Chains A and B, each alone.
Chain A
Amino acid sequence: MYTPAYFSIDREKVGIDEKELKRRLSVSGDFDVSVYEKAIKSVLAESTPKACFIKVPVTTDGDEISFPFVSFQSRDLSKNLSGCKEAFVFAVTLGHGVERLLSKMSRLSSADFFIYDAVGSALAESVCDIAEDMIKGDIPCKPRFSPGYGDVPLSVQRDVLSALNAEKLLGITLTETNLMIPQKSITAILAVSEEFGMRNAE
């Protein structure tokens, strides 16, 4: 049985990753983050960051990857998983308040919407980093991997969210085209790299 555990993250502890924000805003060269202070504050004020996770066995056979709840093909992820027998699967979200705020901005100002959306994305990454640290603790893990990233099919999202009970626990739903709402949500697979010896077998 893999019943997901979940927790909230104190938004006071969520900081903005300037590099990430810069990337999201498509800005290069000098970057003055203070220009975006108001947007960062507004998005943070509406956010209710939460996460949920499970720890599950995983097997790979060539590019075929099998979790207890879904199997699929991915060369990129199978490389990432090589030598691993277990993985954390987790989801984070900034919550519906941020989704509402972005929906509002999209109707009122394209410029503000662009900035707020970038801030939301950057904050979601920060939340994901915090959640990852809390979930893995001292356990050494590979870099996290998200559905839709590389050649991991986006359709896996539905099985991942369902295994995580993410609709009930975090309020994350999918559109018919497998996009997450709230949009500032991230799912990820975090391979446990305990079995160092297995690496050589590949």
Chain B
Amino acid sequence: MKIKDLIKQNRLYLDGGTGTVLQAKGLPTGTPPEIWNIENPEAVIELHKSYYEAGSNIVATNTFGVNCKKYDNYKELFAAAFTCAKKAREGMGDDKFIALDIGPTGRLLKPLGDLGFEEAVEIFSKSVIEGVKNGADLILIETMNDSLETKAAVVAAKQNSDLPIFVTNVYDESKKLMTGASPLSMIAMLEGLGVDAIGMNCSLGPDKMIPIVEEFAKYSSTPIIVKPNAGLPVVKDGKTTFDKSAEEFSDICALLAKMGAGILGGCCGTSPEYIKKLVDKTRDLPYSAPTEKNLTVVSSYTHAVTVGQKLALIGERINPTGKAKLKEALRNDDMNYLLSEAVKQAERKVDILDVNVGLPEIDEIATMKKAVEEIQAVTDLPLQIDSSNPKVLEEAMRIYNGKPLINSVNGTEESMSAVLPLVQKYGGTLIALTLDESGIPKTAKERLAVAEKIAERAKSYGISKKDIIVDPLALTVSSDKDSARVTLESIKLLRHSGFYTSLGVSNISFGLPSRETINSAFFTMALENGLNCAIMNPFSKGMMDSYYAFCALNGMDESFESYIGYVQSAENVPAQAAVSDTKQDDLEGAIVKGLRENARDIAKKLLENENPLDIINGRIIPALNTVGDGFEKGKIFLPQLLMSAESASLAFDQIKAKLPKGEADTSKGVVLATVKGDIHDIGKNIVKVLLESYGFTVYDLGRDVAPEVIVQEANKRNCNLVGLSALMTTTVPAMEETIKLLHQNRPSAKVMVGGAVLNKEYADMIKADFYGKDAMESVKIAQEFYK
């Protein structure tokens, strides 16, 4: 029987620990176990065989630490590992399988680490290809600490094989991965990707896994894998052992089996004895595969949002339609504005953020990928990836860390055949618009029919109805007086037919005065009819009032906690309270004291009566000079200098918008980057904020930036001043290479360098044009350069 069928009918057993058993056979400390595939295959064969004999159905190859980055001879190591496993299996029954064992790469993915998603997929792909070549029966991706790396491994497995995929992650006692994901968020992502079994291994003993197995039993529709350690490590007489005996281990595992764990094995500290006892105690327990939980879930790298359990607010602010500032930011490839919108919406307690970066004149694919990666670096809210271009959806879904909401598919053949395969491949919950080739139906019944058509078609791709949320479309009521009524009716009808619904609520009021009045009323009506998700503006007081009031009135807000919290936070508008710290017009004071919000608000106020350039030259620059002098004399220190600089920048932003065209001097640009291999961006960021405070336009390329990218950006921005930072002696060569490449390819460009390990001599040696001993110095260099 095939594994995919077996796991639905029977309890299956994996093997136990490898390292500890091989060490007992003489593997020296510090020697990776995989080396023995070649150097001592007999021991590895014996190990596998002893697990098969103990009752394991599946033995994992001794390849946990093997990948193409760690070993040049990885192909040979994989081949040898499979030879060992196959030899061990000889003469066993036909219920014995070999799993290609894949462990983590040992590097963390971007944005926290330095490994790119595609690079990770490539590393895993090479391993998968070897597994397929050598006759693996399934792929076991195990001991994964990070959700995005897990996704990269699964994507690689799906791209390069049709083998069953088992995935286990490492949870700690807080019931989360070390990088933050909850069981439900992992289940959502992995079920979306269509893996065959999911679960947990390592880190904890079986007793500590009970609460995690409980969560899996509650949420997982997929067979559950549990591979605990032999308890916790304890040091006894200078030696480390694990605190659970085979007897205790297997007793608790029997309990886990009763809770729903269908695929059992052991991890660190377990041996064939543990597995044998485990098999003996669980073999005769009745087994049934997990039932379909029918949860509609979207997730991020930390948590999940279950649609239907709570009204989901989807923040709509990251969408350039009608937003000049965002458009400009997108055109300039400037993520800062977008990130602050993300954070502000998150503070308004929305559940999901919509991300749409569609502008005709930009590269939407590249921008969407960057936006998704960057937004996920500042907020852990799940995202709704929003584009009319399926290629954009695909690239973003691929790198998204979690299970996204996808906006959208509709009932046209073109849309369904383009979008549905993406969800099959990468997972996601779909927003389905009720329109098709013949347009938007006039009646609720017809809209339901479109929804049903989409759901039917999705089924043929293995996408279940639970992963479809229907948007019955809110159309402008001013052009059709019945439109609101039809939409509301559709919501109700869809709900009775088992669909969850979502709406872009504010479309309804287009063309009418006081739109918020109409929007808020319509929102309440839609909620009353059973709306589950609303794409809306969380800064609209009317809409937020409606939402909190509805939840309170509808018994959805136990003891009115949310409502009261909302009202209190709405009353405490911070801007007004803060200004009292300084005089209403004392911009200099606000900058010197580093009161950022005050500086912004005062600048805004001053602009009503004062000339923008006067504010800059008469107030901002003198204030900055005061602070700069104090810093150089050792009276003011770095934290305050930075606060002041940021205050000045915020004031500057207000003023820039009011400067007559032509006077906003964008020619004074500086490209900044921390060089390849270096992940410290402190120094670079300090320089950035100071330069910005003096009105320079900074193009911040981030950290760990390749020389080619820096040259490319300097050319793209037509920018002749480049600042490079390096904090490690080991990364100075990368700085030297960057300078060389810049001088070769952009002779007009000058390079200033700085960083803890540099001095003037060193800077000269690597042919830098300027050396900035500290951040203030970089301002002087830039001022001199643009004189």
Contacts and interface: CB of A to CB of B under 8 A. Distances in A.
Nearest to A6: B233
Interface in A95-144: 95-97, 99-100, 103-104, 106-111, 113-115, 117
Contacts of B704: 175
Contacts of A169: 203
B29 A176 contact: no
B594 A111 contact: yes
A110 B104 CA distance: 33
A34 interface: no
A174 B107 contact: yes
Nearest to B174: A48
A154 B677 CA distance: 14
A110 B114 contact: no
B639 interface: yes
A34 to B, nearest CB: 13
Interface in B335-374: 335-336, 339-340, 343, 374
Given A103-B112, A110-B688, A177-B731, A5 B235 contact: yes
Interface string B696-717: 0000000010000000000000
B103 to A, nearest CB: 9
Contact of B29 (A2, A109, A154): A2
A147 interface: no
A69 B32 CA distance: 11
A88 B374 CA distance: 40
A126 B367 CA distance: 41
Given A110-B689, A173-B107, A168 B643 contact: no
B582 interface: no
A162 B33 CA distance: 13
Size class of the contact patch on chain A: 35 or more
Nearest to A55: B238
Contact of B145 (A2, A26, A27, A167): A167
Contacts of B241: 3
B129 interface: no
A175 B233 contact: no
A183 B679 contact: yes
Contact of B634 (A28, A35, A68): A28
A179 interface: yes
Contacts, number: 147
Contacts of B638: 25-27, 114
Given A26-B638, A111-B645, A171 B23 contact: no
Interface in B527-554: none
A100 B685 contact: no
A179 B643 CA distance: 29
A167 B30 contact: no
A113 B685 contact: yes
Given A108-B339, A111-B642, A178 B730 contact: yes
Nearest to B240: A3
Interface string B27-57: 0011000000000000000000000000000
B178 A154 contact: no
B679 A175 contact: yes
Given A25-B638, A96-B178, A168-B202, A107 B145 contact: no
Contacts of B637: 25-28
B114 A175 contact: yes
Q: Which 9 A-B pairs have the closest CB atoms?
A: A111-B642, A3-B240, A171-B178, A110-B689, A69-B30, A110-B685, A177-B677, A175-B114, A27-B637
